[in-house]
Amino acid sequence: MKKQKILLVVGISILAIVAVLYLTMKIGSAKITTFEGCEKAGLFVRSIELYDYSVYVPGSIEKKCTLWVGKTFMKYSIDN
């Protein structure tokens, strides 16, 4: 009986920690609205990818920033 109570408390604690982390990520990510903000978001960023299409269009570069919650921001640049 005592072991079951301990497991219940541990399970509820883990669930609470996961819920707090999820809400923190969700709320923090909601404030990010630009590619530049995404680049500076730190722990909220899942990946930043760089695609260089110079072979096809000289000077063309595409950047993609993805947050852990799934929001994606793109930036295109073509040098003349």
Domain boundaries, the chain: 2-78
Judge whether 51 and 64 are in contact, CB under 8 Å.
Answer: yes
pLDDT of residue 25: 84
Long-range contacts of 36-41 (CB under 8 A, 24+ apart): 37/73, 38/65, 38/67, 38/71, 38/73, 39/65, 41/67
- pLDDT tier, 60 (very low <50, low <70, confident <90, very high otherwise): confident
User: How far apart are alpha carbons 79 and 26 in whole angstroms?
Assistant: 36
pTM beyond 0.85 = no
Element (H, E) at 75: strand 72-78
